[in-house]
Amino acid sequence: MLMKKERELIVEYGKRLSTTGLTKGTGGNLSIYNREEKLMAISPSGIDYFQIKPEDIVILNIKGEKIEGDKTPSSEAEMHRIFYERRTDIDAMIHTHTMYATTLACLNWSLPPVHYMVALAGLDIRCTKYATYGTKELAENAFEAMKGRKAVLLANHGLLVGAKDLPNAFNITEEIEYCAELYYRAKCIGEPVILPEEEMILMLEKFETYGQREP
């Protein structure tokens, strides 16, 4: 079985997405890229996270061709693949339909630095132009909007996060959803005070050596 460890991590973190309320049903997808072998392990399409087994994880090459697995890969495989092909700092990705980040995405709003934890993913979190799910257009839009960042809001769709490994991608997903909820709640009662760029640049520097999660 190719990428056994990566398959097991995807199964584990898929369940975590459900138990922590970051997704519902079969929504979202996860992947890990083995840069040495140029192979991508990605969750299958349309299977409940608590029913997915390691052998259900699909293995693709960097061109998006199926190498191993009898299941259909996630419909968003191209959106994962494009990052592995073009960015060297991302080896794991998580896409979710979290409530608050998706609420902002449905407004086509970006998430400003309402809290310093936004810096886990960048100076702010941009929102893409809308494109149909599963398309190359969506993949390109996500890649462009996520330049210089580790997260992006997909217009009228959800949240996409990339990191060096799956534990860090999960951590960023949790924190960005938390910041999106803070922004939503603050907007309900007033106008949030947004942190200045110089403070966020300082936070980016501090996060380079703080809070890194290892597998």
What six digits make up the tokens of 189?
Answer: 């009662």
Cα separation of 32 and 8, whole Å?
11
> Is residue 165 a contact partner of residue 91, using CB atoms and an 8 Å limit?
yes
Q: CB 15: neighbour CB atoms within 10 A?
A: 14
- Listed residue (110, 127, 129, 130) closest to 179, CA to CA: 110
> Is residue 68 a contact partner of residue 23, using CB atoms and an 8 Å limit?
no
List alpha helices for the chain, DSSP H: 4-19, 77-86, 99-106, 136-145, 166-189, 197-207
Given 6, 76, 78, 175, the catalytic residue:
76
Local structure of residue 123 (DSSP, 8 states): S
Judge whether 78 counts as a catalytic residue: no
Active site residues: 76
